Structure 1
Amino acid sequence: MQSYIRLFWIVVGFWVVLTSCSDEDFLEENRKDALTTDNAFLTKAQFESLLGSIYRKVQNFYNAGDGDTDAWPLGLGTDAMFWPRDDSRIFNDWTLLNSFDGFSSRWYTWQYEIINYSNMVIDAAQKENVKWNSDEERDAVIAEGRFFRAFAYRNLANIFGGVPIIDAPLIEPKVDFMRNSREECWQFAKDDLMFASNHLPLTESLPGKVTRAAADHLLAEISISLKDWDGAIAATSRVINGTDGDYELMTDRFGSRADEPGKNIYWDLFRMGNQNYDTGNKEAIWVSQMEFNVPGGTVQFGRPTIERMMWCSYWDFKKAGYSGQAQDSTGRGVAFVRPTTHTNYTVWKGAGNDLRNTEATIKRKYYFAEDVAPYTKGDVIPKSFLTTKEDSLQFVYPNWSKFGTDKHLDGKPDNGYVRDYYVIRLPETYLLRAEAHLGNNRPDLAAADINVIRSRAKAPLVDPVDVDLDYILDERIRELYGEEFRMLTLGRLGMIYDRTKRFGYDPARNSIREHNNLFPIPQTVIDRNVGAKMEQNPGY
C-alpha cells in the first residue's frame, strides 16, 4: 500500500511540474549562486559600481604612464607641444604614424571599453526586475550611460573618422563589424546627448560626476561638427545663462592659497584642492578626480606625472650652478614635453597685462644657483647663456604653473603633485559658442563671448573683424593649453595638418602630411575583423 501511495505522489508531482511551466520555463536557467548580466545589476548601488568603472577609464586619460604617454590627446606633435629629446620620435616625425602606433591604438581601445560599459548600463537599467525608487532615478542612470557612450564616440570620430556603432551589449563573438560614417557617429552621439541633457541632474551627487551642463557642453561641440550652429548656440547658452545650473567664471582670488601675494585668479584655478565645484569653483563643469594615498585615487605611480612631463629640468642645470637635486620649490620636471614657440611666444604678442601670461602663471625667468663667471648667484639666466640645443629644449624653457607646484605634498618634488583634472571648464563653453556664432556668420557675437574670457584675464579685447577660427584656436591655447584634448579639437576641424604645418615644431612641420588629419584604424582591429573588410583610412 505504501508503495502505491508513493507512486501516486510521484505522478502528482510530475503533473504539477508539467502543468505549471512551459517548456521554455522548464529549461530556463535562473542561477542564484553567481552573478550574471541578468542579476548583477538590480539596485542603484550596483549601477553606481558599474559607472565607477567608466570614471576609472577617464582617469586613464590623465595618468596612464610616464614620458609623453599622457600628452598625446593634449596635442603632442601639433601646434601646441612636442617631444624635445629626439627629433626622430613619432609626432616629431609624422611619417612614423601607422596602424601599429601605440598611442592612437590605446585611445581606440579605451573608447570601446567605455562604450561596452555604457551599453551594459543602458541595457540593464531597462530590465523589469531592477529596483528603482522612481522613473526619474532610472532615467538619470540611463542618461549617464548615454553621456559616456556619446563621449566615447566623439573621442573616436574626431580622430579616426567613422567607426562601427555598437548600440547594445555584445553577448556573443562578432567579427564582421562595418564602419559607419563620421557623420553617423556624430549623429548617434548627438541623440545620446540630447537624452542626457534632459535627464542628468543639475548638480553632481559626488565630485566628478557628470551633470546636465557637461551633456550640453558636449552636445554643443557635436552640433558644431554637424554644422548645427543654432543647436550648438542653444546648448552652450543653457550652460552659460544658468538653465543648467549656477556656473560662472571665477573673478576673485579663491581656494587653498588665495592669500599669497603676487599671484592671480588664473594661478588659483590650478592649485591643489581648487578644481571641484563643491569647493567653490563655479567654472568647473566636469572634473576627473585624483586622490593622494587613496586606493584607486590614481592609476599609475601614486600620482599623475604631468609636472614631471611638462616642466623643464632647470633644477638639474649644472651649467648654471644647480646641484641636480630637485627641491620642493623647484619640482622635478624632466622635460618630456615642451610647448612650441607658437604656444610660448607667438600667441602672446600684444597680450598686454593678460593674467595668463604673468610670471606667476608662466615662469620665464630662471636664476643662477651659484656664481658662474661673469654672472653671480641670483642673476637672471640670459638667453645668450643657452648655447646648446639641450639648454633650451630641456633645461630652461617656460614652465606653465598650471602643471605643477612649489609646495608639494609632504614636500616631495617627485611624488607630491596630485590634483584633479578639468575635463570641461566653462571658458571652453564660451569658446564653443563663439565658434558656433562664427559659423553662423556673427563674428560680433563670437567676439563678445571671447571677450568674456579675455576680460577676466585683463587682456586686450578682440575686435570682431579679427575673429576667425585661427583666433579661436589661439585663444584655446592661451586659456586651455594642456587641458583641452587639442588633438581632438584639431581633428574634428580637419586642421591637424594645417596648424602643425604652420605652427608646429620644425621636424613635425616638415614631416606631417594631409592624410594625418585622420589617424589610422589600429591594425589589430582590422586583423581581428575576419568576417568583413574593415576599411583603413587613406594614406596608411
Structure 2
Amino acid sequence: MRHFNINTRSFFLFLLLGLLGFSACNDEFLDEVPKSFLSPENAYTNRAGFEAAINHMYRVGRTLRTHENLPGAEADKGTQTLYGSGTDLGWYWDKKNYFGDYTTINSFNAISTGYWRKLYNIIKNANIIVTRSEYPEVTWDNEADKFEVQAHARFFRAYAYRFLVHLYGDVPLLLEEITGPRLDFTRTPKAEVLDQIVADLEFAIQYLPQNNPDLGRLSQAAAAHLLAEIFITTGEYDKAIAAATSVIEDPQYELMTERFGTMTDKPGDVFWDLHRLGNQDRSSGNKETILAWQIEYNVPGGGDGNRLERCWGPLLERIKTPDGLGAILKDGMLGRPVAFMRPSIYMEYTIWESDWDNDMRNSEYNMQRKFYINNPESAHFGELIEPSPADTVRSHFVWVKKASHPHGHPQGYDNSGRLYSDMYAMRLAETYLLRAEAYLGKGDLENAAADINLVRARSNATPVAPGDVDIDYLLDERARELLVEEPRRLTLARLGLLDDRIKKYNPVSAPTIQEFHNLWPIPQSEIDANQEAEMTQNPGY
C-alpha cells in the first residue's frame, strides 16, 4: 500500500484552492460593504462641506509661504528662491545652486515645476468649489452663503494666477472643474488672465466679509489689497489708488507705532514686535495685519512651521574662537540657522547707508550684525567675534531677526530650524507702498512720497523728497520694510526688473542672468504631456 506524505506547503495550497472554490460558488463573499465613503457627490452638499474644502485651500495657500509640499531638499531652497535667493537680495551660499547660476535653469528645474503644480492645484480646487456650488442638489440656507463660498474660492484662484502670470507669463486659464483627462491645454495671453484676476477679486470684494476679527481669514480688505497690485500691473493707476485707499481708510487697520504684544518686557522696538511669536493676530493688539497665514505648534492642522531661520540666519556654529573652540553654542535661543541665503551687500549695507543710525528697521534688534562668543570654555567668552574673510561666506553676516525666535522656540531647541509664528501674507505697510507705486505710475511724486514717508515715519527714518522717488527707490523701500516677507522674485518679475536689479546688486548671478530669465520656464513635463495641442515654451529656454 502506497502512502502519500502531504507537506506543509501542499496543505496550504489545497486549503487556498478550497477557499477559492467556495468563493466562486458564493459571489457575496467578494461584496464590499464600506462603512463610509467620501466623494464630491456627498461632500459638496451644503455649506459645511464647502467650508471644509475652503479650509483645505487655506492650508494649501499657506504652503506657498512655508516649505511644505516641495520635493525633498528643494523645500527650504524653493521658498527661499521665491523670496530672496537669486535676486538683488542675495544668493544661495555656494553660489552655483538655486538660481545663483542662471545657466543651470531649464524646463526641468524642480523649483519652477513644483510651484507650477502647486499653483494649479489651488486653481483646480477653487474651480471645483465654484462649479459644484451651483449644482441644484446643493442645499443653501441663502444665496449669501453660496456667494461667500464662491468669493473665497475666487480669491484663491486669483491669488494663484497672480503668481503664475508674473512668474511664467501667458498660462492656461482654467475656470471650470475638469472631470476627465485633457491633453489640449494652450496658453492664454497674460492680459486676459489679468482681466480674470480682476473679475475674481471684484467678486471677492463684494461677497467676502468686511469685518476681519482674527486676521487669519479672508476679508474684503485682502481682496482690495491684491487688486491694487493687479491694477498697477494693468496700468490702471487710479483704480489701484482707489483699491488701496479703501483698505487704508478702513478703521480696522492702522500702522503700529507703539510697542505691543507678548514681549514688550524685552529689549526691542515696535518693528521688532511686529515679528515676534504670537504678535500677528488681533488679540496681540496688532491692527496692521490684513491677512496672516496661521501656524500653530502642536495643534492639528497648525502646520509644521516654517524654516525661515534656516534660510536667513548665518551658520554661526562654525565660527572658531582664537583658542580654537566653537564660538557659538546652539540652544533654544539660537535655533538652527543654516545660511541658505547669503545676503548681498545691497541688502546688508547699501539700502541702509543714507539713514544708518535713524531707521528702526536697521536697529540691532532687527538687523543683528554683532555676535559674541557664548562658549564658557573659551578664554575669550563674551568677546565680540571678529570674523575672518572665510567666515563671511556663510557663517558671519547680518541676521534679519524677522526670521528668528530670539527668546526661545515653543518646541525647545531641535535640529529642524522651524519657527511657529504666523506669517504675513499682507499688512498695511505694503498697502501704502502699493498706493505709492500707483501714484508714481501716474507721475504724482508728491503723493507717492507722502505714502512712503508714512511708512518711514513709523521707523523714525528721514523723509524722502518727492524728487528722489523713482521705481528703484520704491524697490529699496520695499526691501527695507518687507525683507523676508515679500516674494521678491515675484515683485521684480512683475516689474520686468529682475535682470536689471541682479546686474546692479548681485555679483554672483550677474554674469549669467539674461532678460528672458525674468520669467521661469514652462515645465517640460507639462509640455510633453500636452499631446493634443501645442504648449509653447518661454523664449530662451
Question: Deviation string for 1:65-92 (max 9, x for gaps)?
Answer: 65423212103201012101x2221411
2:85–2:98 contact (8 Å) kept in structure 1: no
Q: Do structure 1's residue 311 and structure 2's residue 340 form an aligned pair? A: no
CA separation in 2, counterparts of 1:276 and 1:155?
25
Matches within 5 A, 1:194-273: 194-204=202-212, 207-242=215-250, 246-260=252-266, 262-273=267-278
1:316–1:325 contact (8 Å) kept in structure 2: no
Question: Deviation string for 1:27-49 (max 9, x for gaps)?
Answer: xxxxx985543442122111111
| Cα distance, 1:128 vs structure 2 | 2.6
Q: Do structure 1's residue 338 and structure 2's residue 342 form an aligned pair? A: yes
Question: Deviation string for 1:376-398 (max 9, x for gaps)?
Answer: 4323223xx4132xx00211111
Matches within 5 A, 1:27-42: 34-42=37-45
Q: Do structure 1's residue 363 and structure 2's residue 372 form an aligned pair? A: no
| Cα distance, 1:418 vs structure 2 | 1.1
CA separation in 2, counterparts of 1:487 and 1:323?
35
CA separation in 1, counterparts of 2:375 and 2:249?
54
Question: What is aligned with 1:109?
Answer: 117
| Cα distance, 1:367 vs structure 2 | 1.9
Question: Deviation string for 1:153-192 (max 9, x for gaps)?
Answer: 1110001001010010001211111101111111111111
1:190–1:219 contact (8 Å) kept in structure 2: yes
1:217–1:235 contact (8 Å) kept in structure 2: yes
Q: Do structure 1's residue 329 and structure 2's residue 330 form an aligned pair? A: no
Question: What is aligned with 1:28?
Answer: none
| Cα distance, 1:145 vs structure 2 | 0.7
2:77–2:98 contact (8 Å) kept in structure 1: no
| Cα distance, 1:207 vs structure 2 | 4.9
| SS of corresponding position for 1:287 | strand
Question: What is aligned with 1:21?
Answer: none
1:330–1:413 contact (8 Å) kept in structure 2: no
1:315–1:330 contact (8 Å) kept in structure 2: no
CA separation in 1, counterparts of 2:335 and 2:198?
42
CA RMSD of aligned residues (A): 2.0
Matches within 5 A, 1:78-477: 78-84=87-93, 86-204=94-212, 207-242=215-250, 246-260=252-266, 262-298=267-303, 302-319=304-321, 321-322=325-326, 325-351=329-355, 352-369=357-374, 376-382=380-386, 385-388=387-390, 391-406=391-406, 407-412=408-413, 414-415=415-416, 417-477=419-479
Matches within 5 A, 1:502-517: 502-504=504-506, 506-517=507-518
Q: Do structure 1's residue 49 and structure 2's residue 57 form an aligned pair? A: no
CA separation in 2, counterparts of 1:248 and 1:341?
32
Question: Deviation string for 1:240-262 (max 9, x for gaps)?
Answer: 011xx5110111111110122x3
Question: Deviation string for 1:195-247 (max 9, x for gaps)?
Answer: 111111012475521111110011111111100101100000000011xx511
Identical counterparts, % of pairs: 39
| Cα distance, 1:305 vs structure 2 | 1.4
Letter in 2 for 1:487: R
Letter in 2 for 1:503: Y
1:201–1:212 contact (8 Å) kept in structure 2: yes
Quickly say closer, same or farther: Cα 1:107–1:42, change in 2 above 3 A.
same
Question: What is aligned with 1:531?
Answer: 532
CA separation in 2, counterparts of 1:529 and 1:410?
46
2:204–2:220 contact (8 Å) kept in structure 1: yes
Letter in 1 for 2:79: D
Question: What is aligned with 1:13?
Answer: none
Of 322-331 and 288-297, more deviation after overlay is shown by: 322-331
Of 312-321 and 342-351, more deviation after overlay is shown by: 312-321
Question: Deviation string for 1:288-339 (max 9, x for gaps)?
Answer: 11111123321xxx33211122101213322454366412232221111122
CA separation in 1, counterparts of 2:398 and 2:405?
14
Any stretches of 5+ residues in structure 1 without a counterpart? 1-31
Quickly say closer, same or farther: Cα 1:322–1:186, change in 2 above 3 A.
same
Of 315-324 and 506-515, more deviation after overlay is shown by: 315-324
1:308–1:414 contact (8 Å) kept in structure 2: no
| Cα distance, 1:370 vs structure 2 | 5.8
| SS of corresponding position for 1:152 | helix
TM-score (norm 2): 0.88
1:326–1:413 contact (8 Å) kept in structure 2: no
2:260–2:284 contact (8 Å) kept in structure 1: no
Quickly say closer, same or farther: Cα 1:254–1:124, change in 2 above 3 A.
same
CA separation in 1, counterparts of 2:163 and 2:412?
37
Question: Deviation string for 1:336-387 (max 9, x for gaps)?
Answer: 11221111100001114111000011111112346999x94323223xx413
Question: Deviation string for 1:40-59 (max 9, x for gaps)?
Answer: 21221111111122111122
1:207–1:289 contact (8 Å) kept in structure 2: no
Letter in 1 for 2:403: F
Any stretches of 5+ residues in structure 2 without a counterpart? 1-34
| SS of corresponding position for 2:291 | strand
Count of residue correspondences: 496
Letter in 1 for 2:509: A
Letter in 2 for 1:290: I
CA separation in 1, counterparts of 2:491 and 2:39?
40
CA separation in 2, counterparts of 1:457 and 1:362?
13
| SS of corresponding position for 2:157 | helix
Quickly say closer, same or farther: Cα 1:278–1:192, change in 2 above 3 A.
farther
1:82–1:92 contact (8 Å) kept in structure 2: yes
Question: What is aligned with 2:498?
Answer: 496
Question: What is aligned with 2:5?
Answer: none
| Cα distance, 1:412 vs structure 2 | 1.6
CA separation in 2, counterparts of 1:137 and 1:93?
50
| SS of corresponding position for 1:203 | coil
Question: Deviation string for 1:252-283 (max 9, x for gaps)?
Answer: 111110122x3100000111101123432111
CA separation in 1, counterparts of 2:457 and 2:50?
43
Question: What is aligned with 2:79?
Answer: 70
| SS of corresponding position for 2:467 | helix
Of 128-137 and 398-407, more deviation after overlay is shown by: 128-137
Letter in 2 for 1:364: R
Question: What is aligned with 1:522?
Answer: 523
Letter in 2 for 1:178: T
CA separation in 1, counterparts of 2:493 and 2:392?
30
Quickly say closer, same or farther: Cα 1:36–1:90, change in 2 above 3 A.
closer
Of 451-460 and 351-360, more deviation after overlay is shown by: 351-360
CA separation in 2, counterparts of 1:34 and 1:378?
63
